[in-house]
Structure formats: C-alpha cells, structure tokens
A and B are shown apart, each in its own frame.
Chain A
Amino acid sequence: MTTTHVAAPPKPRVAAPSGMSIGDLARRPETGALIGTISVFVFFAIFGGGQFLSAGGAASWLNVAAELGIIAIPVGLLMIAGELDLSVGSVLASSSMTVAIVSGYWGAPVIVGIVAALLLGLVVGFLNGLLVTRTGVPSFIVTLATLFGLSGLTLGLSRVITGTTSVALDPGPQAKQLLGTLVAGKFEVAIFWWIAAIVVIGWLLHFSPWGNWVFAVGGDKESARTTGIPVQGVKIALFTASAFGAAVVGVIQSILYNSAQVANGQSFVFNSIIAVVIGGVLLTGGYGSVVGVVLGTLTFSIVSQGIYYTGWNSDWAALILGVLILAAVLMNNTFRRMALSYAPRMKKKG
C-alpha cells in the first residue's frame, strides 16, 4: 500500500486493439459453434457426396435452417436474458391455423389473415412475458402451460369453426411471392427473412445499447434492476419477440404449403433450444451471440438433412443429433472457461 494518494491517475495502459488473434477467437462465444458447423459440414460433404454440395443440397439445409432460425434467434435472445420459451410450437400451429381459417375458410383477404396471425403471436408472447414477470413462476412452467393450453385451444377452436384439423388456403400471388415462393425453384424466400432477422437482431443485441440490457438481465437480474434497467420490460419484449418469430414461421408455412394443420410446429420447441444451445448460448443466461445461434441453427439443419444424402438409414439421425448436442455443449463449456480465465500476460513495468 504505497500509493494512498491519487493526485493524478496513472495513464491507463489499455491493451492496444490489434487484429484478431487465436486467443481473441477462442474467447468468443461462437467459436465452439463455428467448429461444430464446419465439422458437420465437412463430415456430410465427405459422406453425402456431390448432391449434398450441389445447390439443391445447400437448399435442403438452408430452407430448414431459415424457418428454424427465424424462431431460434429470438428464442436465443430470451435464453441470454435467462428465460425459456417452450410455447413456440403451439404459437406456430395457432398462427398457421389463424391465417388459414381467416383467409382460407372465411375467405378474408390474405393480408387480414397474416396480420391476425402475427397479432396473435404478439399477444401470446406478451401474455407469456406478463405472466412470467408478474407471477414469478419460472418461464419453463409458464410457457409449458402456454404450449399445452394454446395447442388445445387451437385444436378445439379449429374443430368448432371448420369441423376439421387441417384447413386449405389459397394465398394468392403477392403473399406467395413475399412469404412462400421458392427462389430458383429451390430456395425458400424465408431465407431472406432469416437474414433480415439476423441483421436486425444482431444489431440490437451486439451494437445497440439495448443489447447490453439483455446480457445484464440474464447475467444477474437483481444487479440489473439496481442499475435501473427495466428488467420486466426487457423480458416482456423478448417473450413477445420469440412468439412473433414463431407466428411468422407459421404464416410462412401456411402460405408455402397452401394449408395449415393443428399438429404442426411441435418439433420447433426442442429444435429451437437445441440450435441455441449448440450455438453457445448458456442455458442459464448471460452469455451468447446471434452469430452463435445462426451457426447452431446451421449445424442442426445440416445434420438433420445431411443424413438423407448419405443414403444411411435415417433411423440413426436422432442418435447423431443427441451425440452432437452433448459434444457441442461440452465444447462450448470449454471455450467459455477459456474466455473466463483469459488474462493477457503482464507487460513488464517500464
């Protein structure tokens, strides 16, 4: 304790901002996810052969990734903020049924159906957020309740209204162009919506000041509250966003396949969480990145589609996925530990 006086603070010795080194790369949250994506791509490029690498092959996993990604990105944000959303499956089903019933069964203009479906997503998400923040019940439980409740409501209402569980829809050329066409006969237009979501949400999380709040809320809710962050508002916004993402995919699928089924979407519940976790987001919150979630989504899609290009029995696909999840999480843990223990070597005092 030699310096008890602080007349003039010593000149800060800030590390010079040099280019990305291996060390810098290793402490980014998406490094594990990048390795995962590259590994599965190389794996299936070897065993899947030329067709996997063709445009049609790329379209296979990009189309699946785009729809999953539109849900996984907001779900990832929510997980960074320390909450889960299991209700996306039912939101997807109810939104796709809404657009099909409003515009297909009742014959309203397709734009009315789309707006109604998206509004439904916003309302469900808002309610999820409100319930979680007001009651203090864990989001796992609240959104599990929404998952079941909404699926029952969708099934019940669609049977009461239409007498069936699957409704046809003729969306018309404009809606088809915008949401449900195949570019070059292969690539879903959803890919472009996914890219838009990546850019906008990536900006919000990593560049806008608001993104800092998301990390803070997930890192330590109480500390975040004492710094004046509207914790409840942030969470409600994020729940609303994840349900909105699911509603968008519901609309896209209805328009792409000209019909809606009440049973659709349930696989998105776990697939979105898998993509997010493979992408290096910490399940308990506070850590992750949009780029990571994108890579996790790609990894998941490459594995789930790549298996069909190998010619192997796809009974094994789920096994590969299970192993992949475990490997990815272990790898992500390692990289997170490296990031935590990272400290530049002390420069010699001059």
Chain B
Amino acid sequence: MSLKPALRPRWALATVAVLLLTTACNSGKPSADSSSSSDGTPAAAANAASGGTAIFVIGGKSDDPFWSKVKRGVDDAAKVVQAQGGSVTFLGPQTYDNLGPDAAKLVDSAVSQGAAAVIGPDWVPEAEDAAFKRVVQKGIPLFIYNAGGIEAANKLGALNYIGSDEYTAGKAGGEFFGKQGAKNVLCVNTVPGASNTEARCRGIADGVKATGGTSKQLPMPSSNFGNPTAVAQGIKASLLKDDTIDGVVTISTQDADSAASGIQQASAGDKVKLGTFDLDESQLNRIKDGKQLFAIDQQPYMQGYLSVSMAQGYLKYGLELPQKPLLTGPAVISKDNIDSAIAGAKAGVR
C-alpha cells in the first residue's frame, strides 16, 4: 500500500480517523454529484483545443517522498505525450485529512476540465467509486493505479491496473529468502489485522514454503505501537526463544530499524538475516554494509511512468497490453543491485 507512509501517524488515532472518514464520505458525495452534472461537452472541446490528448493523473501530495517518485515517472512519461502534441496534468490533494472525498472531487474536476483519459488510485472505494463510474459512463478511458488492484479496475470498468500487489510482493520476498537459505522466517507485523500487512505476511509465508522452509507471523499488540524499543525487544525475545529462526521480515522501514537493533541485541547478526517491505536511506545503507539482506520495492516511479505511457498509447494508437494487472513490483533490492538502487535514490526515482 503506497499511501502507508502518509497515513501511518493516523493509525494511532484510528477511532477518530474512522469517524472523520465516515462523516467526510457522507458530506463529500453531494458536492461530487453537483459538479459532474454541470459538465458535458467540455471534454471534447478541450481535446479539440489542445489538438491532442489531455491525460489527467490523480495522485498524492507531491511533497510526500513516495509520491514525489510517482510524479517523477509521470513527468518523464509526459515528455513523450507532449512531443506527440498532448498534455498531462497531475492533480493532488492539499492534505490527506479528507482523502476519499478529496480524491473523488479531483476525479470529477479532471472530467470537467476535459480529460481524454483519467488515471487514479482507488484509495477509498466507498468515496471514490461513484466518481470513477461517472468517468467510465462518459466513455473516457480510465486506468486505476497504485491502489485498488485489478479487482477494483474490473469492477469499475477500467482498462487496467498498474501497481503492486501486497501478496505478490510478500511471496517474492519469501522466495528470495528461501533461495538465500532461510528455513524459518519471522514476519513481524506491527499492525496485525490490517488487510495489507496481513497480505504481506501471508505472501512471505507462502514464498518461504515454496522453497521448503516455514514462516510464522509475530503480531505486535497495539501497546507496542510507535515504540521502537518495544518492537526491538519483542523481536529479540522471539529470537532468543526460538534459535531456529534465521530470517526476519518487517512490514515497514521503521520496524526494520527496530529489528536490526533487536537482532544485534540477541547477538544473532551472523545467523539471522533481515528483510523488509519498502525502503529508505537507512535500508539502502544497511544492504550496502551487508547488515540487511534485502528490501522489497514497489517501484513508484514505474507506476507513474507506465500509467501515463499506457494511457497515451491507448488514446493515440489504441495500444493495450495483455498483462492485467500490470505489476510495477516487487523488485527485490539486495547487494546484487544495491549500487543501481542507491543511484536511483540519488536521482529521486527510488
């Protein structure tokens, strides 16, 4: 789930967030309806005016580190679109406080500004799906990317889904672990019960199993939330308790930092390998130093780049790919490809 970095702080205040979200959904719908009923012809008009294709991309805030990489991909693909006489417009919310309704409004806004194709993430289906359906009803090609999966794309009548899949990513990580010789992998889940983190750990378990090992989940109760010491000590304890564990996977980069400390405190650095979902600078440095085995990257740059390219190819030449969904990840970053990953990070695409 790509929005995770942005949404994390709110898990702590989950109840309130849910309340806000619920009320926001209710209040968001009427305004979305009204804005869509007031348009009709502008799409064609805009197309005619620009003399090419007007592609609209809805995404996260561009100062969000994850989304700044997506936007780099969008911008790079836009160069081709512009060369072919089209335009690409990136629409992002000001804040993430009212994400679903805000995203729905951006979708409607894209339509009213005369979009020839719409690319959007299905973050909050309850709030956004009505707006996406209006896009499809008008005959405008729709691509779902980043969140929602191929199920959402099929349900809404979108042409494809471009993004990653938590389970697939986990499975790739698990298989990588197994190939490196890990037989007993611990999947540390600091947000047990959340569908994306459960899917990640399930994928890890199946991946490790496929290579002949086993994996179990270590669920961390909410009394540990936001406390790296409690997470580190819990991981250390599990390693001391079960000395057959030779691999640890964490669901976020901060947990990976805690796990690195826990492994060190259990004096198990030689035997226990560490892997994680997502990556940031400290993961890259640890992989480079040989203290971490791998990080699973969903390659946000490709989500932006491929979505826009797909939309342009379809609009201009009717091109469609048979791969549905079109997965941008997982890419497993290990010491084999760490140098190019670090170079990518420096360039702002990883």
Contacts and interface: CB of A to CB of B under 8 A. Distances in A.
Nearest 5 A/B pairs, CB to CB? A266-B12, A308-B237, A263-B9, A318-B221, A51-B240
Interface string A162-173: 011110100000
Given A56-B265, A63-B229, A168-B282, A263 B221 contact: no
B65 A163 contact: yes
Interface string A298-330: 000000110011110111011001000000000
B254 A311 contact: no
A317 B237 contact: no
Contacts of B218: 308, 314
Interface of A: 48-49, 51, 54, 56-57, 59-61, 63-64, 67, 89, 93, 148, 151, 155, 159, 163-166, 168, 182, 185-186, 188, 253, 256-259, 261-268, 270-271, 304-305, 308-311, 313-315, 317-318, 321
Interface in B225-254: 225-230, 233-234, 236-238, 240-242, 253-254
Contacts of A304: 221, 223-224, 230
B65 A57 contact: no
B240 A309 contact: yes
B223 A317 contact: yes
Contacts of A309: 237, 240-241
Interface residues of B, number: 46
Contact of A267 (B63, B68, B230): B230
A185 B265 contact: yes
Interface of B: 5-6, 8-9, 11-13, 16, 63-65, 68, 192, 218-230, 233-234, 236-238, 240-242, 253-254, 257-258, 261, 264-267, 280-282
Nearest to A310: B241
Nearest to B230: A64
A182 B229 contact: no
B72 to A, nearest CB: 14
B327 to A, nearest CB: 26
Contacts of B238: 308
A22 to B, nearest CB: 34
Contacts of A54: 240
Contacts of B253: 166
Contacts of A61: 233
A60 B221 contact: no
Nearest to B234: A308
B221 A321 contact: yes
A51 B242 CA distance: 10
A264 B226 contact: yes
B240 A56 contact: yes
